[in-house]
Amino acid sequence: MLKLADVLDINDYISYPTDSTGGDVLKEIEKSGFRSTTPIMASSSADEPSIPIRELYPLASEIKPELSTALHLLEEGIEDINISIKMLMENDLISSDDAIQRFQALLPELFCCRNLGDGFGAIVNAIFHSLKNLNGIPASLEQLKVIQKITNRILTEPFISFEEAVDEIILFDTVELISESDHFKYVADLLIE
């Protein structure tokens, strides 16, 4: 028998479908200020979007040429990151690092597509400096996974808001990736009295 003042947690009364194999699990879309009950199917690999990204932006090249270039470069980059992760898990450090170097080489051109938005530009810039600040030391698996996640995010949401981009970049701190350029410290020094 419940007393009048008891607080009920609705989660205690809802059963979520689970799949112990880690395969297709029904998920809810959750975003700040928006909550949908429409289930979406996660792809077999959590890192790959289920719908080819080009289908989401079929007129990209006509409407915004930078979008088309960015999507093309990001697809190529994600392939490199996936290879890097796979090679690292197979203990092939050279191949892993080589793949991430190829991804790194795409970033300056990706940064030229920054008029897609400050969120996009901030993420590309943060990835570039995070990798550069490793000073040639190969990225760890955790670091690669964070980079993979954030790169996937801008592939599926190239117009990501700045606030959301910052939330993603904050995750870099958790895996000891430094996303500021080396010269940022000088400007910080001058601005902090």
Partner 1 sequence: MNKAIVDTTILTDVLLNSGEARSNANNALKQYSQTLLPVYAIKEFKSGPLKNFVWMHNKFALLGSYEKALDALQRMSRTPKRYTTSTAIQALKEAAGSIAKVTAGNLVDKYGEGATYDRIQCDELRLQIKIAIIKAWKKRRKVTTDIVCPLTCYKEIAPFEQRGLIELGLSECDKSNKCAMATLLMTKPDDLRLMRDAIVQSDKPENKRRAKILRQLYRTPKVPIENKDCRKLGDAIFVFIAPDDAVILTTNAVDHIPLAKAIGKQVVTPSEFIH
The residues that touch partner 1, with contacts defined as CB under 8 A, are 66, 107-109, 111-115, 118, 121-122, 125-126, 128-129, 132, 162-163, 165-167, 169-170, 178-193
| Angle in degrees, CA 62, 148, 88, rounded to 5 | 135
| Residue among 88 and 154 whose Cβ is closer to partner 1 | 154
CB of 113 to partner 1, least distance (A): 8
Q: State which residue, 159 or 186, has the beta carbon closest to partner 1.
A: 186
Q: 82 vs 125, which CB is nearer to partner 1?
A: 125
Minimum distance between the CB of residue 128 and partner 1, rounded to whole angstroms? Answer: 5
Residues 6+ apart with CB under 8 A from 132: 104, 181, 182
Q: 159 or 184, CB closer to partner 1?
A: 184
For 161, residues 6+ apart whose C-beta sits below 8 A from its C-beta are 117, 119
CB of 131 to partner 1, least distance (A): 11
Q: What is the closest distance, in whole angstroms, from the C-beta atom of residue 16 to partner 1 in the complex?
A: 29
CB atoms within 10 A of CB 150: 21
Whether the CB-CB separation of 119 and 169 falls below 8 Å is answered with no
Distance CA 19, CA 46 (A): 14
C-alpha–C-alpha distance, residues 86 and 96, integer Å: 7
For residue 138, give the DSSP letter: P
Structure-block tokens of residue 186: 């000088």
CB of 139 to partner 1, least distance (A): 17
The smaller minimum CB distance to partner 1, of residues 83 and 119, is found at 119
Per DSSP, 26 falls in state: E
